[in-house]
Structure 1
């Protein structure tokens, strides 16, 4: 029995010694091959630096074209910069100690080499991960939708006659029961200026998911109207036929829960379906604001539910404007 116990103890001691030896060997390996680990680390860091510079050039090229940089690209750049800023400094400090000479510094030298070897091995893994994450197909998103030049609140003449019409239009857009509104008046009374102010205010108040505008003119060019609306939606129409383009524009507008489409300067009936504007039961979230010189066009040909008149300025308003301009 005693012999069995002695044998078991010997086996346990042997196993423990084996584990301890393996552990010591593993740690000593870090000291022996530390230079190889450092060289591998430096090589990987050069690769990461080259990759970072390449991505930065792509970013600068994208920004020159007014494109938006992807969030994951920005995060990757920050992580790489942090690695270079923080971790490389740590390695350099340990590396300086590992290079110390003399008998007194021998223990420190071995300890520093061990620490350096382990540290750079960890960093190589981090660098490899960043290199893998940095394989971007593209660093940017498509350019944000263009916007039209609108009047600022300061530029918009808030004459009493105009202010009331503006207020009535905004209320009609908000009530949710009217989705086809007309604004009419003779040439030069400020219809376009007024609807541009509606455009600006509707976007500022976030009344709609999208607000888009196109000029129709006396001889409507459907393709040109489609392009104006598509540009403001960030949509690229590549189809050649007007019908196919209308289909694409219609599907894009249906994706918006609430959208305001402003069509300026209508002279005669314009078929919204031909343009690609979903309306009525097809898309109740689509609101239309039209301007025309002729009330009959809005009321009888376009079936506008509400129409607001803009008349010439009253004498006092005209005189005040003249004095301001003079």
Structure 2
């Protein structure tokens, strides 16, 4: 008897229940479409709320998460499908009237489809509970533009190739470049960073400027911004720990620390070094090679001033066609020599004199001789006491009004 009851129960489960469900599509036709309209309205409200949040974040410079954008696309598809079903012309054939009998098959099909769409709409709405809809993208502060003439300078090509070779060497984790102020170290670092990105040598490439009086928090923030890491109001130690953990999540990363004047505490800064993160490489620049040795670089390269020929090539490319004027060229050559092969000086002077008349060039040469004499005297009294940034500022003052 128990066996018969069990069999009867299974028969009812596989026959009566499905049959009842099919009949419910006919009986609850209007209720199903009413439910569909209500659910669609709810989903539209949720969609509008998310869209408003997305727009607010967009105005703040943030990028929408892919999962949020995909959800919005799915919402539009679901609402479009629901609207298409609600506007289906076959609805006119499913109601009862004196003159016609309802089309049972069509009524069943439409009601059944409405039930399925309701479930889909409910499911999609449930997936739209986002704690955040957008993120602040990592900054790319690596300059995408280098001095065009720099690409034609053999001395720069050679050292660039040497640096890239060192960065590709799995046994080398710390590389240094040193040279006089204004010799072009920062420009070279930007160029190396672009090559590393183009060749995809690292998953991330970031640059931070250290300077003569480094601010640890500023350096930490500069690196963090490029990695999409946001700090709260934390101590240097806490920031260092968070930055350290963030860097270690990268499979490979190149960190460029430009313009180091003295030993920098990498651990306090939050930069893993050596065997702690084998895929984290450091490229540092300094005016003094002794500083790089204190930082334990494994490979170091000296960036020299430009040769006389390269000095003129760069000056000529920046000053424009005026330098080819027979009346100006002699003066231009003298002025270029006064730049002493330092790209920063060349750029400052050449751009200041570009397309100027002869009297401006002659006046500039006179002022330039006097200006550089004063600068050299100051530097002689205090080695490197006058930075090339100061030189550039002085040159701008010399050429002011021309």
TM superposition score normalised by structure 1: 0.83
> Alignment partner for residue 54 of structure 2, among 59, 63, 68?
59
Q: How does 1:232-271 map to 2 (within 5 A)?
A: 232-238=226-232, 240-271=234-265
- Name structure 1 gaps, 5 residues minimum: 1-14
Q: Counterpart in 2 of 1:10? A: none
Q: Could you say if the C-alpha distance between residues 130 and 283 of structure 1 is closer, same or farther in structure 2, counting changes exceeding 3 Å?
A: closer
Which of 189-198 and 270-279 deviates more? 270-279
> Alignment partner for residue 43 of structure 1, among 16, 38, 41?
38
Q: Counterpart in 2 of 1:285? A: 279
Query: Aligned to 2:91, what secondary structure does the other structure show?
Result: helix
CA distance in 2 between partners of 1:273 and 1:186 (Å): 28
Note the C-alpha offset of 1:148.
0.6
Question: How many residues align structurally?
Answer: 306
Q: Could you say if the C-alpha distance between residues 38 and 282 of structure 1 is closer, same or farther in structure 2, counting changes exceeding 3 Å?
A: closer
CA distance in 2 between partners of 1:29 and 1:228 (Å): 64
Q: Counterpart in 2 of 1:321? A: 314
Q: Could you say if the C-alpha distance between residues 96 and 187 of structure 1 is closer, same or farther in structure 2, counting changes exceeding 3 Å?
A: farther
Q: Counterpart in 2 of 1:298? A: 292
Q: Counterpart in 2 of 1:146? A: 139
Which of 309-318 and 117-126 deviates more? 117-126
Q: Counterpart in 2 of 1:98? A: 94
- Name structure 2 gaps, 5 residues minimum: 1-10, 320-402
CA distance in 2 between partners of 1:266 and 1:26 (Å): 77
Structure 1: 4+ residue segments shifted above 6 A: none
Query: Aligned to 1:260, what secondary structure does the other structure show?
Result: strand
8 A Cα contact 1:180 1:304, kept in partner: yes
TM superposition score normalised by structure 2: 0.68
8 A Cα contact 2:96 2:102, kept in partner: no
Note the C-alpha offset of 1:245.
2.3
Q: Counterpart in 2 of 1:307? A: 300
CA distance in 2 between partners of 1:48 and 1:241 (Å): 44
Query: Aligned to 1:106, what secondary structure does the other structure show?
Result: coil
Q: Could you say if the C-alpha distance between residues 314 and 115 of structure 1 is closer, same or farther in structure 2, counting changes exceeding 3 Å?
A: same
CA distance in 2 between partners of 1:127 and 1:173 (Å): 53
Q: Deviations over 1:24-79 (max 9, x none)?
A: x7655544432222222211111112222222222222333333333332332222
> Alignment partner for residue 69 of structure 1, among 57, 64, 82?
64
In the alignment, structure 1 residue 134 sits paired with structure 2 residue 128:
yes
8 A Cα contact 1:183 1:292, kept in partner: yes
CA distance in 2 between partners of 1:156 and 1:260 (Å): 26
8 A Cα contact 2:94 2:102, kept in partner: no
CA distance in 2 between partners of 1:222 and 1:87 (Å): 57
CA distance in 2 between partners of 1:202 and 1:252 (Å): 20
